[in-house]
């Protein structure tokens, strides 16, 4: 039954098979008994009771019916056939019911003890009350009652206890295998982050070989051997093309195989020590990317435990390879978001900035030169912002360059104030995440008012977090506008607010949803945009 995947009881769809098994054992118990006074002193009850405890009500009832009907069928006119058959059915029903009350500990030797004592005592009582003539029934009970009660009780207790010990051993073995898999996975995860290549395969194979009783460990891609560790490495080595039919079959079908003889391995070297093998595929998404192979020799013969171990490891490795792909895709997506923001530098801003600089060339050439340097810095920072994090000092420099150009164009309508806690310049932030917020406050906040206004940038540290606030005293906006700004349709972002939405999505992508932008605003009361990220220092 353990071959069917049982730990304590089989899945419900197997109850009929269990009933047949335990009912068959009950029939065997009848035939192993002795004929006494035209009846049978038997061991039928111990098997039916064990079946009920093991499989539950359906199994207990089914086993009792099978064994009981058989008892009646072999001697339908016997004076004790009916009570013996009924007692067997009742024992199965009672054991099945009791198993539902044991809450997971159904293979309980005490339950088997009391059920057997009670069931066999009831059996003898039913023979006395139902079998005719009474004198013959009494003589029968005097002879068989004590042996049947003792033997069936002892047998049921022993049977249940042996099964309990067997499942405990199985559970401990599976727990040990799971722990072994997790230990190997924990050691190999750092290597597989770089993908499946010769270096990562060799490190992974070595870890498996060090921690698993096998003769050799091999990792392949779909064409050649990437790593070989263990016996036979004098003629098996990395770089060899795949030769064995078993490996090629696994690559083509995606089904794991277990090779149980030397011929199945197919090594052409006459002195090759390898005799058994387990070959399982490794996948990335739906594609086969290679194989994990465990080999045994004359001393280490691979079995089902090695087969399950290899399958578990291959599944974990496949998951890690997929996660590595996802990580690469996320990195590319983050870079694409930055490139998207870079590509959306407002051409009107660039055109107006150049016009402003041109106008100063005649009247204030020194001012024009300063503005041109600022514009160059602004453009350079935008086009080079491809690192995942950048020092805050560079972001502040970007903000200053932007404000300098806008102040030259709009004059006193734009006032700016920067409040930076000492030392925050060395903190790391995502590139192009502050300047777009300042630009949003300028364009949609203070420039919406005839007299202009003030933009304040505050950066501070608190409890391991870097806090950034951009506040203005401009026109503000209502709550519906704030919600649309942050949670609107990303496929139809309007050009005016694409920068702030981009910043919000990048912060969420890098740090999680708790670190998205927070916007507080009311019409005519200005707006404050803030975010908080984990503190990361340049040092």
Are the folds of 193-331 and 344-534 the same? no
CA 316, CA 182: separation in Å to the nearest integer?
9
pLDDT tens digits, one per residue of 44-103: 888 898 888 888 889 989 999 999 898 888 888 777 788 888 988 999 899 888 888 886
Superfamily of domain 193-331: GAF domain (3.30.450.40)
| pTM for the predicted model, two decimal places | 0.47
At residue 220's C-alpha, the angle toward residues 215 and 222, to 5°, is 145
pLDDT at 489 over 80: no
pLDDT tens digits, one per residue of 103-116: 667 778 888 888 88
Burial (CB count within 10 angstroms: exposed 0-12, middle 13-18, buried 19+), residue 262: middle
Share of the chain above pLDDT 90, in %: 18
3-state secondary structure of 327: helix
Contact 533, 465 (CB under 8 A): yes
CA 485, CA 101: separation in Å to the nearest integer?
59
Predicted confidence at residue 488, as pLDDT, reads 61
Q: Which CATH number fits domain 2-171: 1.20.120, 1.10.3470, 1.10.1760, 3.40.190?
A: 1.10.1760
Q: Indicate the domain borders of the chain.
A: 2-171, 193-331, 344-534
Q: Where are the beta strands (DSSP E) in 231-363?
A: 257-259, 276-284, 287-296
Contact 2, 167 (CB under 8 A): yes
Most confident range (mean pLDDT) of 5-19, 187-201, 281-295, 462-476 is 462-476
Q: Is the peptide bond before 133 cis (omega within 30 degrees of 0)?
A: yes
Average pLDDT, the chain: 81
Contact 257, 249 (CB under 8 A): yes
Residues paired with residue 518 on neighbouring β-strands, in sequence order: 530
Q: Which CATH number fits domain 344-534: 3.30.1360.40, 3.40.50.150, 3.40.640.10, 3.30.565.10?
A: 3.30.565.10
Please name the helix (run of DSSP H) or strand (run of DSSP E) that holds residue 253, with its range, or none: helix 245-253
Q: What Rg do the C-alpha atoms of the chain give, in angstroms?
A: 40
What is the mean pLDDT of the segment spanning 245-271? 85
Burial (CB count within 10 angstroms: exposed 0-12, middle 13-18, buried 19+), residue 394: middle
pLDDT tens digits, one per residue of 359-396: 778 778 888 888 888 778 777 766 665 667 889 998 89
């Amino acid at each position: 039954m353990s071959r069917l995947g049982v730990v304590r009881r089989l899945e419900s769809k197997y109850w009929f098979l269990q009933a047949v098994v335990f009912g068959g054992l009950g029939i065997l118990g009848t035939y192993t008994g002795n004929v006494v006074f035209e009846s049978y002193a038997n061991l039928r009850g111990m098997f039916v009771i064990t079946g009920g405890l093991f499989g539950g009500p359906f199994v207990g009832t089914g086993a009792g019916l099978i064994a009981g009907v058989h008892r009646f069928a072999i001697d339908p006119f016997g004076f004790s056939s009916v009570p013996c058959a009924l007692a067997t059915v009742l024992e199965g029903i009672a054991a099945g019911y009791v198993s539902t009350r044991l809450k997971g500990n159904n293979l309980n030797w005490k339950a088997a003890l009391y059920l057997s004592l009670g069931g066999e005592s009831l059996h003898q009582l039913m023979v006395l009350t139902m079998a005719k003539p009474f004198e013959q029934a009494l003589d029968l009970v005097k002879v068989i009652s004590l042996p049947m009660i003792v033997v069936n009780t002892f047998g049921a207790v022993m049977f249940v206890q042996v099964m309990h010990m067997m499942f405990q051993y199985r559970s401990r073995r599976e727990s040990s295998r799971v722990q072994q898999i997790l230990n190997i996975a924990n050691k190999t995860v750092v290597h597989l982050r770089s993908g499946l290549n010769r270096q990562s395969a060799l490190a992974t194979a070595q870890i498996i070989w060090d921690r698993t009783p096998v003769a050799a460990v091999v990792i392949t891609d779909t064409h050649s051997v990437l790593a070989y560790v263990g016996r036979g490495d004098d003629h098996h080595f990395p770089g060899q093309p795949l030769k064995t039919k078993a490996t090629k079959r696994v690559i083509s079908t995606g089904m794991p195989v277990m090779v149980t003889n030397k011929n199945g391995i197919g090594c052409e070297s006459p002195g090759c020590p390898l005799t058994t093998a387990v070959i399982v595929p490794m996948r990335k998404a739906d594609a086969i990317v290679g194989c994990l192979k465990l080999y045994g020799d004359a001393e280490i013969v691979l079995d089902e435990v090695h087969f399950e171990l290899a399958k578990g490891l291959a599944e974990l490795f496949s998951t890690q390879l997929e996660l590595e792909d996802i990580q690469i895709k996320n990195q590319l997506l983050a870079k694409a978001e930055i490139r998207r923001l870079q590509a959306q530098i407002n051409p009107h801003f660039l055109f107006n900035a150049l016009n402003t600089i041109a106008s100063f060339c005649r009247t204030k050439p020194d001012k024009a030169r300063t503005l041109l340097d600022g514009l160059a810095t602004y453009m350079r920072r935008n086009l080079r912002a491809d690192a995942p994090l950048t020092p805050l000092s560079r972001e502040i420099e970007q903000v200053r360059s932007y404000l300098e150009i806008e102040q030259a164009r709009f004059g006193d309508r734009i006032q700016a104030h920067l409040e930076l806690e000492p030392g925050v310049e060395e903190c790391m932030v995502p590139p192009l995440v502050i300047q777009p917020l300042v630009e949003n406050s300028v364009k949609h906040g203070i420039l919406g008012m005839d007299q202009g206004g003030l933009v304040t940038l505050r950066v501070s540290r608190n409890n391991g977090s870097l806090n950034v606030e951009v506040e203005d005293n401009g026109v503000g906006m209502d709550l519906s506008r704030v919600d649309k700004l942050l949670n609107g349709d990303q496929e139809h972002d309007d050009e005016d607010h694409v920068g702030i939405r981009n910043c919000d999505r990048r912060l969420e992508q890098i740090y999680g949803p708790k670190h998205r932008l927070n916007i507080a605003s009311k019409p005519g009361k200005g707006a404050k945009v803030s975010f908080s990220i984990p503190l990361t220092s340049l040092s």
